[in-house]
């Protein structure tokens, strides 16, 4: 099912979503385009564009079209595996201990999710549910109640390289409805029953064959605009072979080990579980927080950090994304969204570094 709609209808769809969900959509605030909870349709940064390079980010205006910006700086991970989540509340009463498990269920609608982030979501699903012998019930509780409005990109940024990282533009993944901006309006494709139900009551005009054609043109054009790429052929084997190469030291000198890259990455899943307790020892919360393989305590065994050099930590991170992940989950762990490139204060570029390592003989 596909329809051609205008911006007024898009606003109606947004309002309908707000009736049943907590809507999360990109917002321009403080110089950054970010996913935010409960914004208004008018807060969506239509007509804005991001200028992104390694270590560089700013937003400017453009006249081109409505959806001229690219993916936001934060990710779905921030909502489905929040930076802080209480797993248990633990009470001690009369020398006995009681646990209260605290699953949050909040129906969330993500308005405007790009293909890279949809692919990242399917990767997180594998990590936390599908390819895990102990499916994570906290992730699941949040994950099960979401609605996804996907958007096909018509613009790209300088740091995007999704097209070479198994992100399929012709796959709509788990989107409920998909939007593509056309010259005069939007193509609205309905992919699920949930999507169909949302649109009930709206007067919609069926899309014509030409509209579908135009959408496919948009996809192809966007695809060709992407300049960066990683050749995945034998990528794993090649990286494994070069695990000892002195080039990693060269990266280690430049990297600050700040963990910024892992925080913005949509697929980085590592966490710590910490205790937040009362002084008298009668109450404690088991809180799951983001952790990072760049943290010096991440791999300590008896006070020794097994990755005691930053070059070891960077290598671990890159190898996990590009190689280990393939062994663990059958796919690369990077979707080529480029966030880690933009937000690296040392201007380290994972696409450049991977290619550098690959080109070293």
Ligand X SMILES: Cc1cc2nc3c(=O)[nH]c(=O)nc-3n(C[C@H](O)[C@H](O)[C@H](O)COP(=O)(O)OP(=O)(O)OC[C@H]3O[C@@H](n4cnc5c(N)ncnc54)[C@H](O)[C@@H]3O)c2cc1C
* 302 is a contact residue toward ligand X (CB under 6 A): yes
* 229 is a contact residue toward another protein (CB under 8 A): no
Distances in whole angstroms, Cα of residue 121 to Cα of each of 115, 198, 357 = 10, 22, 28
* 153 is a contact residue toward ligand SF4 (CB under 6 A): no
Residue 273 beta carbon to another protein: minimum distance, rounded to whole angstroms: 6
Residue 166 beta carbon to ligand SF4: minimum distance, rounded to whole angstroms: 11
In the bound state with ligand X, the residue whose beta carbon lies nearer, of 130 and 300, is 300
* 361 is a contact residue toward ligand X (CB under 6 A): no
> How deeply is 212 buried, as exposed, middle or buried, from its count of CB atoms within 10 A (0-12, 13-18, 19+)?
middle
* 255 is a contact residue toward ligand SF4 (CB under 6 A): yes
Phi, psi of 40 (to 5 degrees): -110, 165
Quote the CA–CA distance of 172 and 283 in Å, as a whole number: 46
* 323 is a contact residue toward another protein (CB under 8 A): yes
Quote the CA–CA distance of 26 and 215 in Å, as a whole number: 22
Ordered DSSP codes for 312-346 = HHHHHHHHIIIIIHHHHHSS-S-----HHHHT-TT
* 301 is a contact residue toward ligand X (CB under 6 A): yes
* 336 is a contact residue toward ligand SF4 (CB under 6 A): yes
- What is the x/- site pattern for another protein, positions 111-150, by CB under 8 A? ----------------xx---xxxxxx-------------
- Specify the 3-state DSSP secondary structure of 347: coil
Residue 301 beta carbon to ligand X: minimum distance, rounded to whole angstroms: 4
* 96 is a contact residue toward another protein (CB under 8 A): yes
* 72 is a contact residue toward ligand SF4 (CB under 6 A): no
* 301 is a contact residue toward another protein (CB under 8 A): yes
Quote the CA–CA distance of 334 and 324 in Å, as a whole number: 11
Residue 284 is encoded by which pair of tokens?
């404690």
344's contact among ligand X, another protein, ligand SF4, none, with CB below 5 to 8 A by partner kind, is ligand SF4
316's contact among ligand SF4, ligand X, another protein, none, with CB below 5 to 8 A by partner kind, is another protein
Q: Judge contact between 128 and 141, C-beta under 8 A.
A: no
Q: Which of 14, 69, 111, 269 binds another protein (CB under 8 A)?
A: 269
Residue 306 beta carbon to ligand X: minimum distance, rounded to whole angstroms: 10
H helices of the chain, in order, are 7-20, 77-80, 115-125, 137-143, 193-199, 209-225, 235-241, 247-254, 260-264, 310-319, 325-329, 339-342, 350-359
Residues making contact with ligand SF4 (CB under 6 A): 255-261, 264-267, 294, 314, 321, 334-340, 344-346, 348, 350
């Amino acid at each position: 099912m596909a329809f051609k709609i205008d911006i007024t209808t898009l606003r109606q769809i947004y309002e309908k979503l707000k009736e049943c969900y907590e809507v999360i959509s990109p917002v321009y605030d403080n110089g950054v385009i970010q996913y935010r909870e409960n914004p208004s349709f008018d807060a969506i940064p239509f007509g804005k564009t991001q200028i992104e390079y390694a270590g560089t980010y700013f937003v400017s205006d453009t006249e081109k079209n409505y959806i001229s910006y690219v993916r936001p700086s934060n990710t779905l991970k921030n909502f489905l595996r929040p930076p802080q989540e209480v797993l248990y509340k633990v009470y001690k009463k009369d020398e006995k201990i009681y646990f209260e498990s605290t699953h949050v269920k909040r129906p969330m609608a993500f308005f405007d999710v790009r293909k890279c982030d949809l692919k990242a979501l399917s990767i997180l699903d594998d990590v936390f549910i599908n390819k895990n012998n102990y499916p994570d019930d906290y992730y699941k509780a949040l994950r099960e109640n979401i609605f996804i409005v996907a958007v096909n990109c018509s613009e790209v940024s300088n740091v995007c390289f999704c097209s070479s990282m198994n992100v399929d533009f012709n796959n709509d993944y788990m989107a409920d409805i998909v939007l593509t901006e056309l010259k005069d309006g939007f193509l609205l494709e309905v992919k699920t029953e949930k999507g169909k139900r949302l649109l009930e009551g709206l007067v919609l005009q069926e899309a014509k064959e030409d509209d579908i054609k135009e959408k496919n043109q948009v996809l192809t054009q966007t695809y060709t605009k992407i300049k960066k790429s990683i050749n995945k052929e034998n990528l794993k084997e090649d990286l494994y072979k070069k695990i000892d190469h002195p080039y990693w030291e060269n990266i280690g000198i430049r990297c600050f080990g700040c963990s910024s890259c892992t925080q913005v990455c949509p697929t980085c899943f590592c966490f710590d579980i910490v205790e937040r307790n009362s002084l008298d020892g009668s109450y404690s919360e088991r809180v799951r927080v983001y952790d990072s393989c760049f943290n010096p305590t991440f791999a300590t065994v008896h006070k020794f950090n097994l990755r005691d050099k930053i070059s070891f930590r960077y290598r671990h991170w890159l190898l996990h994304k590009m190689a280990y992940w393939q062994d663990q989950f059958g796919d690369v762990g990077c979707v080529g969204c480029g966030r880690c490139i933009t937000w690296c204060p040392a201007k380290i570029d994972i696409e450049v570094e991977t290619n550098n390592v690959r080109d070293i003989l």
